[in-house]
Amino acid sequence: MLGAYIIEVTSGGPADAAGLKKGDVVTSFNGFPVTDATDLIAQVRALAAGSTAPIVYVRDGKTISAEVTLGSLTQ
């Protein structure tokens, strides 16, 4: 299966709010297929902070759809 394997989810972050968990595999972001982690990062960076995008991921063999609202980087 192609996609981005989630190795960590920050508590309270956008991925956590969207329901993602460690071990999920993101297969689609904002309507585009995700082939690997680098691809997902590039797609996320293409959107502005605060944007909302549909996301599709696989958990335990089940395909799940959700919405994620992108956060902004803090220093």
Give the model confidence (pLDDT) of 61-72 as tens digits: 999 999 999 987
The predicted pLDDT at position 53 comes to 97
Give the model confidence (pLDDT) of 32-59 as tens digits: 999 999 999 999 999 999 999 999 999 9
Q: Which residues contact 20 (CB under 8 A, 6 or more apart)?
A: 6, 9, 26, 55, 57, 66, 68
Give the model confidence (pLDDT) of 6-24 as tens digits: 999 999 999 999 999 999 9
The predicted pLDDT at position 39 comes to 96
